[in-house]
Amino acid sequence: MLKSILLTLMFFAFANLTCAQKLTPNSIINTKTGSFVTKQDPSYSDDMVVVNSKNIYHKINPKTGPANISSVERRDKSGLLNSFTQVFSDERLTQLLPEKYMLMTLYVNPAGKVLEVTFFLKKTTVIEAKELEELENAIKANVSFKLLPNETKGGDFFPIGQIVKYSRVLDRTLK
């Protein structure tokens, strides 16, 4: 009897831990090293914004600098693809195909280094917080940009939008 009670308690504890990673709008989801905050995107009822709670750039405007960067080029064309394939297996990417894509804003310093990432996902996404944590770390390690010095002068950071189609990651054509 005691054994079955313990097994039942362990099952519920495991189920609770597993569900704790699920991203839902307007919540805080803890990860191994931090947490992610999700907010319902007011512009789109089917989407949510997901951001690492340690991130700050999505809350502030860049210092005075050019409003538009005309030339944005990744230093390593395969860096973004490598980041995704480092985190998501082909099987997992296949599970993500119905969601079609992920939108991101990469916050980049004048030298082109990615400082932070904000994710825009469907409310019904099957992506877990731990995967976003790993993806953000991989993007910071693998992705950088060539920015023109005359266009970044006076700015402290620059938001760069990215769309990633899961099918392009799966067939390795993401550039």
pLDDT tens digits for range 7-20: 444 444 444 444 44
Residue 68: pLDDT band with limits 50, 70, 90 = low
How far is the CA of 4 from the CAs of 1, 18, 86, 92, in angstroms?
5, 21, 40, 34
**Domains identified in the chain, total number:** 1
Q: At what angle do helices 129-142 and 79-87 cross, to 10 degrees?
A: 150
Residue 80 included in any domain: yes
- Arithmetic mean of pLDDT, 39-50: 83
Q: Kindly state whether residue 10 falls inside one of the protein's structural domains.
A: no
Whole domain around residue 165: which residue ranges?
Answer: 23-170
The reported pLDDT for the residue numbered 138 is: 97
Percent of the chain whose pLDDT exceeds 70: 81
Q: Compute CA distances 53 → 32, 49, 135, 147, 172, whole Å.
A: 13, 12, 15, 27, 31
Q: How far is CA 99 from the centre of its chain?
A: 15
Residue at 41 is within a domain: yes
Examine residue 113 and state whether it is found in any structural domain, yes or no: yes
pLDDT of residue 63: 62
The answer to whether residue 92 sits within a structural domain is: yes
Q: Which is nearest to 153 in space by CA: 110, 109, 106, 107? A: 110
Q: What are the structure tokens assigned to 6, written together?
A: 């313990």
Residue 13 domain-assigned (yes or no): no
Name the most confidently modeled range: 3-7, 88-92, 151-155.
88-92
pTM reported for the whole predicted model: 0.81
Domain-located, residue 58: yes
Rounded Cα gap, residues 80 and 99, in angstroms: 18
pLDDT in tens, 122-133: 999 999 999 999
Query: Is residue 152 assigned to a domain?
Result: yes
